[in-house]
Structures are given as structure tokens and as C-alpha cells.
Amino acid sequence: MGYRILETDDIPAYLRERGHWEDLDDITVREVSDGNVNRVFLATNAAGTRSLALKQALPWVRVAGPSWPLSPERADAEARAYEQLAKVAPDEIPGIHGYDPENYALVMEDLSDLEVLRTLLNEGAAYGPHTSAQIGRLVARLSFATSDFGMASADRKALLAASVNPELCKITEDVVLSEPYIEHEHNHWHPGLDDLAAEFRADARLRTEVADLRHVFMTSAQALLHGDLHSGSVMVGERQGAHVVRVFDPEFSFVGPIGFDLGLYWANALVSEERARALGTLTDHGDQLRLSWEAFESEFRRLWPTRVDTFFDDAYLDRFLRRVWTESLGFAGTELVRRIIGFAHLTDLTTLQDPVPASRRALLLGRELIVRREELTTVDDVRAVVAPLA
């Protein structure tokens, strides 16, 4: 039949055709699209005992519409990423009920009993003790398993070839790793940031450092990434008294530099910290970089003795982790900058009554992380950069 864009009214019959739902008299569907790129629907029965989520990739960027075409094949990348994630972190992703490559549609577990991490934080909640450690551990498990340490060379090459995701990588290369530093129609910012936006575009050193990070992003095929690991790609909550973390939306997944995943997570934690500082609701925000890095590093080191290629010795592990740390800081800086003077701003800042002071701090922090990433070798060094911006 070929690809068709599913509307709310199409979903019941579609789910039934695909074998996901039986009783067409007992199904209610609503659209809950929230991210920038795709459409998401929730199907539930009247008793509330059965529910499913359906995510479909459109042939364009959802928030931009047909004026920004984008191949729906990105859903293939998402389905592939979930396959890899299911091997290393099955309890930290949504249950996947099926993927339909013809319609670029994923049917998966309804997570609406959980909350998007960004939403919770914006409402004033603390991170809590487990979330960032779980994210750090998940990144370590995914990246170790899909690196040359965790996979035989030929299998790795096959994964690399199967995981190319050119269009979505190009979006990142553009909106994160170049456009904010040049004149571009995607860029916009609060007028109170005019001076900094101009300063950043005129800063030759900053541009060269971003060019370096952009090239790392383009060429450093370390491991399979989530590819867009911000706080809107994480859901948290409680189930049967236990803390639950679910990472979703890995459509930007490709084999790239591990620091890109950690960096995005860190940048979004730092932005949340700035929001909390502005509102006087700071709690545990300042611990998140440390918690996620320590969990990442200790899990990666725990897995190291299982490496398939022992030519990589322990001294190399130290060097490799140092590189991941440094690149994570740089990528965190680029994410901070693009979310404020580029495309796709964050509600953490945009919903503040006066977003300017917090945005200025975050921008300055972003620039410091980019240009000083080599000299910031510890978490305390990073905290020392955050503090004087106050």
C-alpha cells in the first residue's frame, strides 16, 4: 500500500491491521505530539487497562511543516537504536511492540504514567538521586557494547554501515554545530541577548573550537549514540514503589563521539540549573554532571576487562576516557549556545518571566566550556566556571 500519513482517526484500524489491537469499539486515540520532529498518538481502552503509543515520522520536521522536508527514514534509525538499547538497557527504554518500516511507525509502550524530565524540572522538582546515574550508566553500556572494545571489528563495521543517519546528522551539524556562529535564518534570540549573539558570531577563536567539535562529530565513530539525549528525551517516575527512568526518541542515533550524548545531557542539566537559580528553587541541579560522569566512568571501567581487543591496554582506557570527558564538555557548550541563540529553544528558559539573566549566564558558560574544555579536567573545575557567572 505504501507510506501514508496517519491521522488520529486512522489509528484504530491501523493498530488492528498490525495486530496490536482487537476491539475497535473500545479504543480512544489522541495526538500527543510534543517533540520538534515527529507525531505521537496514544490509544487507550475505556477501562484504562490497555494503552499503546504510536510514533510516526512525517516527511518533514513537524514543527516547521512541509517547508522543512526530512525523509521519514529517520524512523529506521530509531528502530535500530532501540534494538541495540534493548540489549544493554532493556529496562530503561519503552517496550517496543513493533516497527512498520513501510509507514515509518513505531508502536510502543505508553509511558504517560511517567513525566518528561524537563517538564518535572520546570515545575520545580529536584532530579532525585538516581536519574543522572542511570543515564550515565546507560550511556556507558550502550557505548561500550557498540564500540571497538565491545564488538568484534567486522561486526562493528557492519553496525557502522547500518547506522548511518545522514539527514539527522546534518541537522545536528547545522543547528548545533555551525548555524549559531554565523548569520542564519534559523537563529533567533531574545533582544536582551543581541550583544552576546553578535559577539559570539564575531569570535574567531570560538568558531575554530566549534569547527573542531563539529569535525569530531562528523568523523569520530566511537560508538552508537542516542544522538539527542536532552531532558525532553528522558521520562521519570515511580512504578510499584521503584524509581523508573526511560530514555526515548533515539531517532538521531548514529555511530559517533560518546561525548555528544553526555554533553547534551549535561547542557540541559546546566540550563535547568540556571532556571532554578533564577527562580530561587535550586536543589540538586549542581550535582548532575558529577553523578552522570561518575556512573558513566565506573560502568565503562567495570566493562573494560570484557573488551574483545586486548591491544587496548589500561593506560589507553585512561586516555580514552579523558578524551570523552573533554569532548563532552565541548558538546555541552555547543548545546547551551544553540538552545539560546540558535534553533529549538528550551522552555526551561523561555517560560521565565525574564529569560535574559539566566540565558546570559548559560551562554557565557557554553562559551567557556567550548573554549576551555582542555583545561577543565575535573567536575570541580567545571563547577568553578559556573559559580563566578552568578
CB closer to Mg ion out of 100 and 249 = 249
Q: Which does 287 bind (CB under 5 to 8 A by kind): Mg ion, ligand SR1, none?
A: none
Query: Pick from ligand SR1, Mg ion, none: which does 209 bind, CB < 5 to 8 A by kind?
Result: none
Which of Mg ion, ligand SR1, none lies near 175, with the C-beta cut-off 5 to 8 A by kind? ligand SR1
User: Quick one: how far is CA 358 from the chain centroid?
Assistant: 22
Tally Cβ neighbours within 10 Å of residue 230: 20
SS3 state at 93:
coil
Indicate the length of the chain as a whole number. Answer: 390
Backbone torsions φ then ψ of 99, nearest 5 degrees: -125, 135
Measured from the CB of residue 39, what is the shortest distance to Mg ion in angstroms? 12
Backbone φ and ψ for 180, nearest 5 degrees, come out as -60, -15
- Between CA 107 and CA 312 the distance in angstroms is 40
Question: Are residues 107 and 18 in contact, defined by beta-carbon separation less than 8 angstroms?
Answer: yes
Footprint of ligand SR1 (CB under 6 A):
35-37, 61, 171-172, 175-176, 228, 343-344
Tell me how far, at minimum, the Cβ of 15 lies from Mg ion, in Å: 23
User: Which residues contact residue 208 at a Cβ distance below 8 angstroms, ignoring those fewer than 6 apart?
Assistant: none
Contact (Cβ atoms closer than 8 angstroms) between residue 26 and residue 45: yes
Window of 27-35, 65-73, 119-127, 310-318 that interacts with Mg ion by CB under 5 A:
27-35
What minimum distance in Å lies between the beta carbon of 329 and ligand SR1? 19
Closest distance of CB 57 from Mg ion, Å: 11
Please, which of residues 88-107 interact with Mg ion by CB under 5 A? none
Task: State which residue has the least CB distance to ligand SR1.
Answer: 36
Stretch near Mg ion under the rule CB under 5 A, chosen from 30-38, 179-187, 347-355, 370-378: 30-38
Query: Binding to Mg ion by residue 78, rule CB under 5 A?
Result: no
DSSP percent split of the chain into helix, strand, coil, nearest 5: 55, 15, 35
The count of chain residues that interact with Mg ion, using the rule CB under 5 A, is: 2
Coil, strand or helix at 143? helix
What's the CA gap between 269 and 332, in Å, rounded? 10
226 and 252 Cβ atoms separated by less than 8 Å: yes
> Smallest distance from the beta carbon of 167 to ligand SR1, in angstroms?
10
- Given a contact cutoff of 8 angstroms between Cβ atoms, the answer to whether 299 and 137 are in contact is yes
Closest to ligand SR1 by CB, 29 vs 340, is: 340
If binding is defined by CB under 5 A, does position 249 make contact with Mg ion? yes
Q: 3-state DSSP call for residue 309?
A: coil
Identify the residue among 6, 29, 35, 189 touching Mg ion (CB under 5 A): 35
Residue 344: which of ligand SR1, Mg ion, none does it interact with, CB under 5 to 8 A by kind?
A: ligand SR1
Judged by CB, which is closer to Mg ion: 12, or 35?
35
CB of 51 to ligand SR1, least distance (A): 24
118 vs 141 by CB, closer to ligand SR1: 118
Residue 327 near Mg ion by CB under 5 A: no
Query: 36 or 45, CB closer to ligand SR1?
Result: 36
Output the smallest distance, CB 186 to ligand SR1, in A.
Answer: 8
User: Which CB sits closer to Mg ion, 39 or 277?
Assistant: 39
Q: Assess contact for 165 and 74: CB atoms under 8 A.
A: yes
Q: Which is nearer to ligand SR1, 176 or 329 (CB)?
A: 176
By beta-carbon proximity to ligand SR1, the closer residue of 64 and 126 is: 64
Question: Which residues sit opposite 42 in a β-bridge?
Answer: 30, 53
**In the 8-state DSSP scheme, what is residue 227?**
S
- Other Cβ atoms within 10 Å of 215 Cβ, number: 12
Q: Which is nearer to Mg ion, 35 or 136 (CB)?
A: 35
Cα dihedral 358, 364, 370, 374, rounded to 10, equals -110
Task: Give the interface with Mg ion as residue ranges (CB under 5 A).
Answer: 35, 249
